[in-house]
Structures are given as C-alpha cells and as structure tokens.
Amino acid sequence: MTVLEVERLSKSFPIKSGLLQRETGRVRAVQDVSFSIARGETLALVGESGCGKTTVARCILRALPPSSGAIRFSPQEGTTIDLAPLSRSALRPIRRHIQMIFQDPYASLNPRMMVGDIIAEPLLVAGVPLAKRQARVRELLELVGLPPAARTRFPHAFSGGQRQRIGIARALALDPTLVVADEPVSALDVSVQAQIINLLLDLQDRLGLSMLFVAHDLGVVRHVSDRVAVMYVGRIVEVAPTIALYARPRHPYTEALLAAVPKPDPMLRDAAAAPRGEVADPANPPPGCAFHPRCPHAVDRCRVELPELREVAPGNFSACHRAEELTLVGVA
Amino acid sequence: MVEAARRVLSVRDLVVDFVQDTGTIRALDGVSLDLHAGRVLGVVGESGCGKSLTARAVLRLVDRPGRIVSGKVLLDPGAPAQQELTALDPEGEAIRAVRGGRIGLIFQEPMSALSMHYTVGNQIIEAIRAHSGLGKSAARQRAIELLQEVGIPRPETRIDAYPFQLSGGLRQRVGIALALAADPEILIADEPTTALDVTTQAQILALLRRLQRTKGMALMLITHDMGVIAQMADDVAVMYLGKVVEFAPVQQLFAAPRHPYTRALLRSVPNIRAVPRERLATIGGAVPHPESRPTGCAFHPRCPEIIAGRCALEMPPPLPPDQEGASCFHVMPKMMVDA
Ligand SMILES: Nc1ncnc2c1ncn2[C@@H]1O[C@H](COP(=O)(O)OP(=O)(O)OP(=O)(O)O)[C@@H](O)[C@H]1O
Ligand SMILES: Nc1ncnc2c1ncn2[C@@H]1O[C@H](COP(=O)(O)OP(=O)(O)OP(=O)(O)O)[C@@H](O)[C@H]1O
Ligand code: SF4
Ligand code: SF4
Ligand SMILES: [Mg+2]
Ligand SMILES: [Mg+2]
C-alpha cells in the first residue's frame, strides 16, 4: 500500500533585488519531482547542498506551499488526500499523521520545557487525557532508550545523541503514518550517530515506520534505506532500490557521488576521481541535462534536450538520455 | 614506522586549561606529536577531543580563558635554528612571522580567514607582501599564479571578486591559496572539507594532496572523518579527551588498530559497502565533557575491554611521541624493533 505519492512537485522562490525588492528571477528549487513511499518503506532523498531536499520535505509537511504538483497522502487504508491544495484549517486534522525529525537536536527542543512535556506536547494538542499521556511518555522513553527519570529533566542536561532520541520520541508520540527526517544524524559524532542509526533501524522493524529520510551521507543512507532517490539541481535524476543503486548506478551523477565518497580503506587510494566543475546554480541551471557541463558521458543531445525520468530496468528509474547504453561503476 | 624524514615541528606534553567560575577544564592533557617534511599527519577524533585546540596552541592562538599550562612547541626541533614557539609573546612579531609564514593555516569555514570587505586578490597580495619583498605588481602576478594553482578558473578576473561572490568550493580554494601565499613548509588544515559537498570535497582533497607532494610540505590534517584519514594520511594520531591515545602509520591503524577506542570508532563508521539494514557497532554513551573527566583511563566508562580494578584507578602510560602504539593497559608500546 502506498502511503505517499508525490507527483510533479515543483517549488520556486522569487529572487528579489534592488531598493524596491522587485522580483528579478526565480530559484527553481524543486522541479517536477515524483516518487512514492510504500507502507513500512524508507525512501532516502540524497544529493548535494542546495539540490532541493529540504524544500521537498517542507512541501510534504506543508510548511511551504508547493508551486504546483500533487502530494497524495493516505493516512489510512482507503483514504487518499491531496495535501498540495489544502488550506491551513483543512490540513490541521491530517498533520498529526505526518511527523518530523530535525537535524539539529539543540535548536529543535524548547530549552524551558521538561523532556516529558516536550514529548507529550503533540498528545496534548491532540486532546489525549493526562493519565494516558503519562503512560505514553513512559512507553516512548523506553522505546528510544532513555531512562524514565529523563521525564523531569530539561534538554540542556542531555547530550546531542540523547536530544535526538527526545526528538524521535516526540515525533513518534501520535503513531504517525509517515515520518519525515531531515538529516537526523548529520550533526552527531560517529559513535553517537551509530547509536541513532541503530535506533532508527530498530524502530523500522518494531513499528513498521514509513519514512522519508533526507541525507547527504551515502554511507548512512546505505544502512537505513530500502530505496534511494538522487536529486541534482531540483530534479530527481535516479530512483532505485538501495542495493541496485549502489551496485550499478544508472545515472552518471550517482556514479560521481559514489566515487567521491572517501573510502575508509587506505589500500583503496586515488581510486576516486573527483568530478570536474561545480554544482549548477538552481537560479540559472544549464539547458538540457543540468549535469552536462560535468558529465564525462555528455553528447550533443544532452546540451539541448531535458532527459525525463523513466524506468530503465525493473524498479530502476533514471533521467539520463544514455542510461541504457552506459555501464556505470558503483561500489560492490 | 616513520622514515627518517626531517622533523619540522614537535609538540611535547602540551597542556591547555580553561579557567572558569565552575572550575578548571583541562582541555589538552599532555599532547605530543611530530610533523615531518613531506608527510601527512592525520589527527582524528570526535567533537571536543582537542583537535582544533592543538592546532591553535601550536600557533599560539589560544584565547582567554584558555592558557597553555605546560609543554613545548618546537619549530625545527634539534636544528641550530630551533625556535620554541611556546616561549614567544603570542602577540609579538616573531610568532606573527611564523603564522601565515612558515606555517600556513586552512580552516573549515574559509570565511573565518577571509574578510568580506576586501577582494580575494587584495587579501592574497597582502599576505604575499607581508612575508616577501615582492612589489605590488609582482605580488599580483604571484597571486594570479596561486589562484591558478589551486584550480580556480579564470584567475585573472576572479582575483578582483569578493569572497561572497564565490561558491563554497571556490572560497575554500581561495582559503588554500591564502595559506600558501608565503610558501609555507608546514600546512595545518582544520577540517578543510567538512563544510563541503562530497564532490567538492574530493576535488579539494586531491588538490591538497597534490600541493603537499609537489612542495614537500608537512601537512597536519585535522578531521573527524575516517574516510578522509584513510585517503590522505601517512600517519595518524587518534585523540580522545585531550590526549593522543593511539599513533600509527595509516595502513597499520586500519588493518590492526590497537586502542579499544580506535577499534570501536572504526567499526561505527557507516560504510557504503555495508549490507543494507546492517546494525553498526556502537560505543556506549558519549564523549564525556572535559569538565567531568573520568578517573584512570578516560575511556574506561565506555570501554568494552576494561580491566576491572585497574582502568578506573590507574592511568595507562602515555604514548611516547612519534612511536607506534596505544595508551592502553592491553597494549605494550612497540619498541624500536624495525631493521
Ligand atoms: N525560503 C527560500 N527562499 C529563497 N530560496 C530558497 C528558500 N529555501 C530554499 N531556497 C533555495 O532553494 C534551493 C534548494 O534549497 P534546499 O534547502 O531545499 O536544499 P537542500 O538540498 O536541503 O540543501 P542542504 O543539503 O544544504 O540542506 C537552494 O538554492 C536554496 O538557496
Ligand atoms: N572558549 C572555551 N572555553 C571553555 N572550554 C573550551 C573553549 N574552547 C575550547 N574549549 C574546550 O576545549 C575542548 C577541545 O575543543 P576543540 O575545539 O579543540 O575540539 P575539536 O576536537 O576541534 O572538536 P570539533 O570536532 O567539534 O571541532 C572542548 O571540549 C572544550 O571543552
Ligand atoms: S543525459 Fe547526457 S549529460 Fe546528462 S547524465 Fe546522461 S549522458 Fe550525462
Ligand atoms: S586502559 Fe583499560 S579502559 Fe582504557 S582503553 Fe585500555 S582497556 Fe580500555
Ligand atoms: Mg537541507
Ligand atoms: Mg575542531
């Protein structure tokens, strides 16, 4: 069953300049993005800074109004609602089914609230009575591996990893249908990051979470996701099951990303060739395939014709004109 | 083992305290390490373990309420011209000639070394002139060459750009050009690619490696990323709570890490070759704050190999500088057995 289906989602922001702050152009942060998430599935959204990952996440949460496209969400079997055109008041009853885990465990917790109250807040808003709230908070603390005594302490008494656990407990309080996690482990030290990754894996198993996992670290993504969508300058360029994408990428940008990851093995040095050039500016993307100025496989057609995302192998989608003829290198 | 490359810098038993109302924090607790011409020393460890502070202490940039309590930093150790940086006035002429002169510095955020208000060219030209006798137009010519060397396209026009007009990757290249302005023998790079995307990181690392090799510089590369260490370092110092707990050549460190912390750290790194949904090995708890440093071996509350009745009470012997080994009761320091 599909929990979320995003179809041709676009979002642009005005570029304003001059004294009168007149609009002089638009940043096309997200363009024609389509993907779906099945119940119990974790889809990772990866790509480099500014490619539009957070903008996609914020549109799904309706923290931003999309410019166009559909965001079909199924809070339960048999009900599907397009969130894109909904008003604030129409959204309110649905919002509880989609929860967010943030990157920064320091900024996202109110320092003046006790941890128990932070976790109980969504329950309070949903009108859950006190006794049930308290029982649920105890259950959630246990679920994320925090001691019951954490309830009456303030966020400053906790380390980064523990704060991230608090944020996760809060996100899970109302048994959401979909969890959107925007770089939830990027700010953590490796030893703590490993603990939180394992916690997310446990929660996926125990609760059958459906998750959109926004990240830029391909190592982290490999551990937690079932499928991966790769974005470049506002567009999805490849979507595939995790193992398939790493073993045999179908888009040259995915290949470049995998090659650029510094491998934690000193015997495998210099194997990575850095791609030339820089990430394109979403306010002024190159014509045709936006990756063409950096792509070692570009041909004339790439400079003029925009490649559409299409299925090039079963379950494997690529937006490259040459996806079928190229044999790209992944990691074993 | 380290070959007989020339030692250009020695740090010996460096101790740095921060005095606060709540008590004194010992942030560096006896750090010793050596830099060698033509070699890359990787310094790795989790947040707060003292990597940046070590670099800042070397250049006498420890700000109040921080204070170097004891220990030495020697430039050209053992040479007739040996200079004890720890004996210099931190504001004086002598240390300033070293900073940005014989020792170049690259930061995580290039904007912390660059000014918003001057063009890239002005800043590099000034750095060149401060450490050489070049005239204005010769210095400008040299600045253009430097920008070219660090891979900035169209350097003749980019030289007149302001830093904010450049992308993060280009700015970091300018930061590197600035650090190279005085032709340093030693380069200290503190997380030079942490703020960058992977493809840009790969470019910058390749650039640093090429420059380090062609100029025979000693590079101290600070990072928390074991992947970057594996790709770049010749030797590695692993830090934990203000101490170097393991030192080894890079292959040795990855093939047979000696310290339980290094072993745990290596196992907890997410790998792009992992079996999907595979659990990572974890280290219990988090790095303690130096304010509440554990007794005995500072790693003992998290150590899976703790020796009961010993590790919590006694400090394992510190690592002799520049010798392979680990500061742990399970590990005897490897003596000089090489042929
Ligand atoms: N509120 C806004 N107003 C104007 N431009 C915006 C706004 N939010 C995002 N953008 C632009 O949209 C593009 C996509 O940004 P987004 O934050 O979605 O990227 P991202 O993939 O999440 O990057 P990162 O990895 O750095 O978090 C960027 O060029 C960004 O500058
Ligand atoms: N201004 C300060 N006041 C008090 N303590 C400080 C100050 N600056 C640094 N410290 C202490 O020095 C320790 C080492 O800090 P340092 O910046 O060297 O860590 P690091 O290894 O570079 O970490 P990161 O990976 O986060 O950059 C910190 O844990 C902190 O306790
Ligand atoms: S469409 Fe052309 S330029 Fe784009 S990724 Fe494919 S081969 Fe490269
Ligand atoms: S000295 Fe003891 S506690 Fe410290 S790392 Fe070795 S075994 Fe672990
Ligand atoms: Mg983002
Ligand atoms: Mg640091």
CB atoms within 10 A of CB A135: 11
Scanning B5-64 for CB atoms below 8 A from A yields 46-47
Which residues are within 8 A (CB) of B239 and not within 5 positions of it... i.e. 6 or more apart?
B31, B43, B44, B45, B49, B50, B51, B54, B245
Which residue range is the domain that position A291 belongs to? 250-332
Confidence check: pLDDT of A105 > 90: no
CA distances from A229 to A44, A236, B24, B276, B316 (A): 6, 7, 49, 16, 48
Q: What integer pLDDT is reported at residue B339 of this predicted model? A: 34
Contact residues, chain B, for A217 at CB < 8 Å: 270
Higher pLDDT pick, A295 / B334: A295
CB atoms within 10 A of CB A314: 8
The span from the CA of B243 to the CA of B25, in Å, is 14
* Phi (first) and psi of residue A270, to 5 degrees: 60, 5
Q: Do A49 and B265 touch (CB under 8 A)?
A: no
Whether the CB of B273 is below 8 Å from some CB of chain A: the reply is: yes
Cβ–ligand 4 distance for B307 under 6 Å, the answer yes
Beta strand B218-223 with B186-190 is parallel
CA distances from B280 to A189, A220, B241 (A): 14, 10, 23
Residue of B nearest to A257 (CA): B199
Scanning B125-184 for CB atoms below 8 A from A yields 167-170
Cβ–ligand 4 distance for B299 under 6 Å, the answer yes
Is residue A219 assigned to a domain? no
The sign of the dihedral angle between the CA atoms of A68, A73, A79, A84 is negative
Quick check: helix, strand or coil at residue A116?
helix
Per DSSP, the residues of A184-239 read: TTTTS-HHHHHHHHHHHHHHHHHH---EEEEES-HHHHHHH-SEEEEEETTEEEEE
Q: Are A34 and A231 in contact (CB under 8 A)?
A: no
Residue of B nearest to A242 (CA): B276
Residue A82, min C-alpha distance to chain B (Å): 31
Q: Do A262 and B202 touch (CB under 8 A)?
A: yes
Give chain B's radius of gyration (CA, Å): 21
Is pTM beyond 0.90 here? yes
Scanning A142-161 for CB atoms below 8 A from B yields 159-161
The span from the CA of B299 to the CA of B288, in Å, is 9
- What pLDDT band is residue B333 in, cutting at 50, 70 and 90? low
Query: Using one digit for the tens of pLDDT, what is the confidence trace for B71-110?
Result: 999 999 999 999 999 999 999 999 999 999 999 999 888 7
Q: Do A262 and B251 touch (CB under 8 A)?
A: no
Whether the CB of B206 is below 8 Å from some CB of chain A: the reply is: yes
The total domain count for chain A is 1
Mean of per-residue pLDDT scores for chain B: 91
User: B152, B252, B282, B302: which to substitute to probe chain A, counting the most A Cβ within 10 Å?
Assistant: B282
Per DSSP, the residues of B116-134 read: SSS-HHHHHHHHHHHTS--
Q: What integer pLDDT is reported at residue B248 of this predicted model? A: 97
Is there a cis peptide before residue B65, judged by omega within 30 degrees of 0? yes
Query: Using one digit for the tens of pLDDT, what is the confidence trace for B8-52?
Result: 999 999 999 999 888 889 999 999 999 999 999 999 999 889 999
Confidence check: pLDDT of A271 > 70: no
Cβ–ligand 4 distance for B55 under 6 Å, the answer no
Pocket test for ligand 2, best of B14, B18, B291 (most atoms within 8 A of CB): B18
Mean of per-residue pLDDT scores for chain A: 93
Q: Are B210 and B192 in contact (CB under 8 A)?
A: no
Name the token pair of A11: 């979002």
Query: Using one digit for the tens of pLDDT, what is the confidence trace for B232-288?
Result: 999 999 999 999 999 999 999 999 999 999 999 999 999 899 888 889 988 888 888
Is residue A172 assigned to a domain? no
Q: Do A222 and B227 touch (CB under 8 A)?
A: no
The span from the CA of B98 to the CA of B86, in Å, is 12
Contact residues, chain A, for B251 at CB < 8 Å: 266-267
Higher pLDDT pick, A178 / B110: A178
The span from the CA of B290 to the CA of A94, in Å, is 46
Cβ–ligand 1 distance for A104 under 6 Å, the answer no
Per DSSP, the residues of A41-98 read: -EEEEE-STTSSHHHHHHHHTTSS--SEEEEEE-SSTT--EE-TT--HHHHHHHHTTE
The span from the CA of A235 to the CA of A174, in Å, is 32
Is residue A322 assigned to a domain? yes
Higher pLDDT pick, A204 / A159: A204
- What pLDDT band is residue A279 in, cutting at 50, 70 and 90? confident
Q: CB-based burial of residue B13 (10 Å sphere; 0-12 exposed, 13-18 middle, 19+ buried)?
A: middle
Pocket test for ligand 4, best of B283, B311, B332 (most atoms within 8 A of CB): B311
Is residue A77 assigned to a domain? no
Is residue A180 assigned to a domain? no
Helix axes B120-130, B136-149, angle to 10 degrees: 110
Which residues are within 8 A (CB) of B212 and not within 5 positions of it... i.e. 6 or more apart?
B38, B40, B187, B219
Quick check: helix, strand or coil at residue B285?
coil
* % residues pLDDT > 70 (chain B): 97
- What pLDDT band is residue B316 in, cutting at 50, 70 and 90? very high
Q: Do A161 and B266 touch (CB under 8 A)?
A: no
Count how many pairs of residues, chain A against chain B, have C-beta atoms within 8 Å: 143
Q: What integer pLDDT is reported at residue A272 of this predicted model? A: 61
Is residue A214 assigned to a domain? no
Confidence check: pLDDT of B154 > 90: no
Whether the CB of A262 is below 8 Å from some CB of chain B: the reply is: yes
Sequence letter at residue A305: E
* Phi (first) and psi of residue B252, to 5 degrees: -60, -45
Confidence check: pLDDT of B332 > 70: no
> Which protein residues have their CB within 5 A of the ion that is ligand 6?
B 52
Instruction: Give the residue-averaged pLDDT of A223-250.
Output: 97
Q: Do B286 and A191 touch (CB under 8 A)?
A: yes
Is residue A30 assigned to a domain? no
Query: C-alpha B85: how far from its chain's center?
Result: 17
The span from the CA of A275 to the CA of A253, in Å, is 9
Beta strand A178-182 with B7-20 is unpaired
- What pLDDT band is residue B3 in, cutting at 50, 70 and 90? low
Instruction: Give the residue-averaged pLDDT of B213-222.
Output: 96
Instruction: Give the residue-averaged pLDDT of B186-190.
Output: 96
Q: Do B286 and A275 touch (CB under 8 A)?
A: no
Q: Do A265 and B254 touch (CB under 8 A)?
A: yes
Q: Do B202 and A191 touch (CB under 8 A)?
A: no
Quick check: helix, strand or coil at residue B30?
strand
The ligand minimizing its distance to the Cα of A55 is 1
Q: What integer pLDDT is reported at residue B197 of this predicted model? A: 87
Confidence check: pLDDT of A50 > 50: yes
Residue A274, min C-alpha distance to chain B (Å): 5
Q: Pocket around ligand 2: residues whose beta carbon is below 6 Å from it?
A: B 18, 25, 27, 45, 47-53, 66, 224, 290
Q: Do B286 and A159 touch (CB under 8 A)?
A: yes
Whether the CB of A269 is below 8 Å from some CB of chain B: the reply is: yes
Q: What integer pLDDT is reported at residue B1 of this predicted model? A: 46
- Selection from B73, B41, B43, B45 nearest residue B57 by Cα: B73
CA distances from A50 to A55, B164, B189, B337 (A): 9, 16, 25, 52
Q: Are A245 and A330 in contact (CB under 8 A)?
A: yes
Residue B94, min C-alpha distance to chain A (Å): 37
Name the token pair of A71: 């965001």
Sequence letter at residue B15: V
Whether the CB of A264 is below 8 Å from some CB of chain B: the reply is: yes
Of A161, A266, A331, the CB nearest to B254: A266
Confidence check: pLDDT of A29 > 80: yes
Residue count of chain A: 332
Beta strand B103-106 with A316-318 is unpaired
- What pLDDT band is residue A10 in, cutting at 50, 70 and 90? very high
Look up the ipTM and state it: 0.89
How far the first Cα of chain B sits from its last, in Å, is 10
Higher pLDDT pick, B65 / B109: B65
Q: Do A190 and B227 touch (CB under 8 A)?
A: no
Q: What integer pLDDT is reported at residue B336 of this predicted model? A: 41
* Phi (first) and psi of residue B7, to 5 degrees: -75, 125
In angstroms, what is the span from residue A260 Cα to ligand 3's centroid?
Answer: 18
Residue B288, min C-alpha distance to chain A (Å): 9
Is residue A259 assigned to a domain? yes
Q: What integer pLDDT is reported at residue B55 of this predicted model? A: 96
Helices then strands (H, E): number in chain B?
10, 11
Residue of B nearest to A215 (CA): B197
Least confident of A37-51, A67-81, B35-49, B105-119: B105-119
* % residues pLDDT > 70 (chain A): 99
Scanning A40-79 for CB atoms below 8 A from B yields 48-49
Q: CB-based burial of residue A118 (10 Å sphere; 0-12 exposed, 13-18 middle, 19+ buried)?
A: buried
Residue A28, min C-alpha distance to chain B (Å): 18
Task: Return the bridge partners of B17, or none.
Answer: B26, B67
Name the token pair of A301: 């057609």
Hey, what's the torsion of the CAs at B241, B246, B248, B252, to 10 degrees? -110
Confidence check: pLDDT of A54 > 90: yes
Residue B282, min C-alpha distance to chain A (Å): 6
